[in-house]
Amino acid sequence: MLVDHIRVGLYQTNCYLLKNNDHMLVIDPGARANRILEMMDNYIIDGILLTHGHLDHIGAVDAIVTQKNCQVYCSNEDLEMLNDPKLNCSNQNNIRVTSKVIGISEGTYQIGEFKICVYATPGHTHGSLIFMIDDKLFTGDTLFKGSVGRTDLPTGSDRELRSSLKLFTNFKPDTIIYPGHEELSTIEYELKYNQYLKQK
């Protein structure tokens, strides 16, 4: 599996495009739908995965679904957020996902050509998820290189996030982390240098 990505929108969200043969899975298409669509070439789009429901991770969903007729997956707990600008923090831009979204929870899923292990990591939002796909860990806004997601937005919880961070001690040290913003990292680096993991 190959992983490509593009940083999109005001908050420079990492949108990931996972490629397996002629199939593609998209994670967090937050903005710039036309640019993301250009990167899809002739791939079969197996689905769109959302790590959580904030505006900067969902803004291009409907445009991609319209063009590619693909399924969208998000945690059951964040479904309401997708269609509520107050909850997804898009009051000024009124961003909503009107496409059909399939609610998922912790467990293992087969979406097209991709086997996905889903872990619930409430904290940044109550429904935040991370995905392990082909030994690569997509952490959304739960874990960044050297930092973690904020908890002062709707449905966020510092207590829940502290509890969720314990999960990262279970992964192999050489696991590559693909976060929702900024640079890639590894579990080994975060356990050694991330003060939030040290305080878990």
Q: What is the pLDDT of residues 12-47, one digit of tens each?
A: 999 999 999 999 999 999 999 999 999 998 999 999
For residue 155, give every residue at least 6 positions away whose Cβ sits within 8 Å of its Cβ, in sequence order, or none: 77, 78, 81, 87, 125, 126, 127
pTM of the model: 0.97
200 has pLDDT over 80: no
Residue-range domain boundaries for the chain: 2-198
Q: Over the chain, what is the mean pLDDT?
A: 96
- CATH fold of the domain at 2-198: Metallo-beta-lactamase; Chain A (3.60.15)
Angle at 62 (CA atoms; ends 47, 19), nearest 5 degrees:
30
Percent helix, strand, coil in the chain, to 5, is 30, 35, 40
pLDDT band at 135 (very low <50, low <70, confident <90, very high): very high
CA neighbor of 160 nearest in space, from 171, 147, 151: 151
pLDDT tens-place string over residues 143-173 = 999 999 999 999 999 999 999 999 999 999 9
pLDDT at 199 exceeding the cut of 90: no
Question: What is the structure's pLDDT at 11?
Answer: 92
- DSSP, collapsed to helix, strand or coil, labels residue 195 as helix
CB 175 within 8 A of CB 135: yes
